[in-house]
Amino acid sequence: MRPNIVTEAGVQTRVSQWWNAIPFLTSSVVVVCGIIYLICLLAGYDTFYEVCFLPSAILSRFQVYRFYTAIIFHGSMLHVMFNMMALVPMGSELERIMGSVRLFYLTILLATTNAILHLLIASLAGYNPFYQYDHLMNECAIGFSGILFSMIVIETSLSGVTSRSVFGLFNVPAKLYPWLLLIAFQLLMTNVSLLGHLCGILSGFAYSYGLFNFLMPGSSFFSTIESASWMASCVRRPKFIMCTGGNPSSYMPTYSVQNTTSSGFSTGNAWRSLSSWLPQREASNQSSEDSRFPGRGRTLSGTARDPTPPAGETNPNLHARLLEDSTPDRLSDATVTGMTEPIPAPRQVPIANAAVVLPQPQTQGRVAASEEQIQKLVAMGFERTQVEVALAAADDDLNVAVEILMSQQG
């Protein structure tokens, strides 16, 4: 029985890790849609006439609330599970790029534009003077799939890929991917709203091409919402993603007419655009930085110099080799002071040597140390005259001297 217990614990741990990796808004949408479906299932509510997107009811009774209630109700277990499983990867990726509040605003915007387009097309089909097609006016549509089709278009435009896989069977051009999904779902599934999915695709393309930029507020708007007192309980959640530090133009990158390829984006442009939308966290310090104290900092034993390497440095192992060569000398100095605990190799200038008072003359030790350091730098290919000047300016510190020499070469 022990192997079974271990297997069950492993599955539970994996599911927990998978759920904890889903950002705040995406997981909230999954929970809300799941709970609403369970309540409807237990209550026996299966008509959805009062909450679905019904163009005739919206126009006759101005029931605008249907714009938003229709997207959180689902008609069957397969319906809600399929939509939520499709939402998790796309919603998680977009939320990490945009932030939780900005993605919530975008979801509301897409729900509104999808509904308006749906209403306009249904009205044109139902009230045109040539042929009146009343079926679209009386179609009761529910589900999150319209928003999902918009997210598919936006995610495809941001990915920079030229082709996408359709159900793992074959690859198609990226621009045709949402259209083929629209046709596939319409042919393979019953009771699918063609107009609802179509409007989702149209809204996604409109956003990707920048037609909704005037509707997207600036970063200060979202920062104000995040700093509000009524948002404190959400912001403190570990899965909440701040949207500060994003693109100052307040919208995700769109198609450009300059140097474009068939996919709409080049890989380099897409990566630069995505990196500009990442939340305001240092990528290199993300694992060790405390979220309560954001920003770039240094330890107490560090120096005030900028830790970024100079522009002319081409060898990334240069400092590592110098530190390895100078470690025995550093440790011998520490042994003279009577310290018993091992001292790690300092990253910059060691401040412990500043407090050491040796009985021997300082000038002789410095000359010997300088000659050894000069030989090391000369062996690396630097000229002796430049090495002596750099060591004098760096006060015999190898790291600073290397930075000076490399900057001169750059």
Burial class (CB in 10 A: 0-12, 13-18, 19+), 262: exposed
Q: Which of 197, 208, 263, 326 is catalytic?
A: 197
Helix (H, G, I), strand (E, B) or coil at 172: strand
Q: Write the DSSP string, 298-335.
A: --TTS-SS--SPPTT---TTHHHHHHHHHHHHHHHHHH
In the chain, the amino acid numbered 162 is T
Contact yes or no for 269/253 (Cβ under 8 A): yes
Counting every residue, how long is the chain?
A: 410
In the chain, the amino acid numbered 197 is H
Residues facing residue 166 across a β-bridge: 170
Q: Which residues contact 374 (CB under 8 A, 6 or more apart)?
A: 384, 387, 388, 391
The 3-state secondary structure of 189-212 reads CCCCCHHHHHHHHHHHHHHHCCCC
Q: Which of 145, 208, 223, 273 is catalytic?
A: 145
Helix (H, G, I), strand (E, B) or coil at 164: strand
Active-site residue, 197 included = yes
Instruction: Give the C-alpha separation, 410 to 405, whole Å.
Output: 9
Q: Which of 211, 76, 68 is nearest to 147 (CA)?
A: 68
Active-site residue numbers?
145, 197
